[in-house]
Amino acid sequence: MDSLYPQPGMRAEFAATGIAEALIARSWQRSVDRYRLDPGRREAPRVLSASALRDHLAPMQPVLELARGALQRLFEQVRDAGYVVLMTDADGVAVCMMHEPRQDRELRHAGLYRGSAWQEPTEGTCAVALSVLEKVALTVHHAEHFRAVNRSLTCSAAPVLAPDGRVLAVIDASALSSPDDKRSQHLVLQMVRQAARLVEDAWFLQSYADQWVLKIGSQQSLVEVATDALLAVDGDGRVLAGNAGFLAASGLQAAALAGQPLHEVLGVDLPTLCAAGGEPGQAALRLQLPAQSRPSYGLLRPPRAAVRRVAAPPAAPPASAPLHPALAALAGADAAMRAHARRGQRLLDKGVNLLLQGESGTGKEAFAKALHAASARRDGPFVAINCAAIPESLIESELFGYSAGAFTGAARHGARGRIAQAQHGTLFLDEIGDMPLALQTRLLRVLAEREVHALGAREATALDAQVICASHRDLLELAERGQFRLDLYYRIQGVSLRLPALRERDDRQALVDRVLAEEAALLRLDAPPIDADARGLLDAHGWPGNLRELRNAMRALLAMGEGGSIGRDLVEAAIRPRAARADLPAPLQRSAHDGFALAEQARALREALQDCRGNVSEAARRLGIGRATMYRRMQRLGVAPPQRLFDPGQSDM
């Protein structure tokens, strides 16, 4: 290892037993063995272009909004000593910088600049990279930096962690010159650590604004303003998460903590805490943390809605608002649907983004329209965009619009994008899981900044719209595969509602009657009665296409009927009952991660295409799914397009 340290005395410093020194030594080893870096390379750290930096800035806006005050305070503390303050994202890219303008040129040359990328594979050992990798606060001082060009710097960095342990950001204070003794940086590191903790706690409190949060401190009279730990608890008294301070003080792991009853963690339940505190000026309750011998004190902060109720004049609690007729009609008599409808109605006009999930055909767009009708924006536009149906080459101009002359062939006066058309109304983004990654970045920026920047336009347009997204796919699974941005998922999933499949609904029989009556009314017919045997077949059917398939089946029954009752023979002709057909395309009822084999899904698609002589639209109708969904599944399962199975000249229409 001697060859790793180009300067005298370094080995002795790294041989110290401190954690930071051990982490730095391992980073040096990786820089040599894994990344094959040359410590003598003289180029300054890479600084991203303005366009590349925008991709890092957009998802960081919520964190930056919370952090700006803490960063300004830190800068005021260290500015006179010649330090600059940086905040980077989890990739080590500086998205915010505070410095004296007179140092601008010198700092840029040293890589201390907004857009600079401090990553171990390119820079080797440095404070920001180590803080991201190891999730610890530490100082990398002078020759501890791997690259010679950075060895005049001293850098103290601390991570800002999300409640789930992810690195949200890194706060760093760096100086171009400083005393040789690393101990001179101890106070700066403490200031940086304190700033990161302030931002971390602010993020935690914002993330759980609608839940009970227990503030814990060592001084009973100062808990409200000097908090050592935070614990989020739901209304049933189960722990949702603890911040880093609580995990350290309790000796518990985040995964083991989540879901635990509060009384098992702290020996006190939620009603006791509610009775003891929560009002301004109330005394904190004595607590005993599992890993501490000395007592702590806790003060309960009620959910945001409860705060509003406390602040209001005393009055009798209002009765629950009745469901809006549009939502009530959609929910029917199914308990799960009515619960979703009530929850969605409560969230309307609160600035909360909604994510609707469920299988294809469960009525996600109809549910979004009903929410729009029940909202204060009901007189505004409802703009629905199917992210899977717009060609990728057109999706950017279609969604964001463009100004006059933005590109060759652009309309003379430009065009207003679909997102901007939802102004003062509701924007419904269907099948958002199929949006290209490049467009996900732009959408994230729109949702974070609440403004739309059309192609070629100099100024952005403010956006005032309720945003509702929908997908039949598992977005977290897509994010794990790198096909969907995790930060976009957390932005659109303010609250997630999973609409039940038709086979899961309690009111299937009532839905059959209602849809049959609606379709009969369109044909100006009286809805015919359904025989008991026929009704049994309809109830036993798996309905892989859900409500869409149900409506198509009712149309077919009315078309084939001759004015009498609907019997078993008509139902068997209109649908493929589960009990009568062993080859029912069951894999289309649920996604593969629910246990259905991909091979079976592919077989069902091929059989439908064979039966329809390669006509994709007809095959999709037969399976009870949309044409766009049919194409997506063909592509995902490797089913050959119809032109490879049949006559290439055959029309799909």
Fold of 501-584: Helicase, Ruva Protein; domain 3 (1.10.8)
Q: Can you give the pLDDT at residue 89? A: 94
The secondary element (H helix, E strand) that includes residue 217 is strand 212-217
> Residue 46 CA to chain centroid, in angstroms?
29
CA 380 to CA 375: how far, in whole Å?
A: 10
Q: How far apart are CA 236 and CA 255, in angstroms?
A: 19
How far does the chain reach from its first CA to its final CA, in angstroms? 70
User: What is the predicted pLDDT for the residue at 496?
Assistant: 87
Give me the phi and psi of 630, to 5 degrees please: -60, -45
Chain centroid to Cα 83, Å, comes to 35
Q: How many residues does the chain have?
A: 653
For β-strands 296-301 and 461-462, DSSP reports them as: unpaired
Domain 2-195, CATH: 3.30.450.40
**Residue-level pLDDT at 583:** 37
Topology given in CATH for the domain delimited by 326-498: Rossmann fold (3.40.50)
Instruction: Confirm if 468 and 477 have CB atoms less than 8 A apart.
Output: no
CA-to-CA dists, residue 265 to 163, 228, 244, 536, 551, angstroms: 17, 17, 16, 51, 51
Residues 470 and 364: beta-carbon distance below 8 Å? yes
The whole-number pLDDT of residue 499 equals 92
In angstroms, the Cα distances linking 470 to 231, 446, 503 are: 31, 17, 20
Question: What does pLDDT average to in each consecutive run of 10 residues of the chain (653 residues)?
Answer: 37 48 94 92 84 83 90 94 95 92 85 91 95 95 94 96 90 95 94 95 90 86 80 88 86 81 85 64 71 80 58 39 83 88 88 88 92 90 84 72 59 72 91 85 83 75 89 86 86 87 89 86 82 88 87 86 80 64 38 43 76 76 72 75 42 39
Q: Write out the CATH class of domain 208-310.
A: alpha beta
Tokens encoding 555: 């149309």
Q: For residues 616 and 606, what is the distance between their CA atoms, to the nearest angstrom?
A: 10
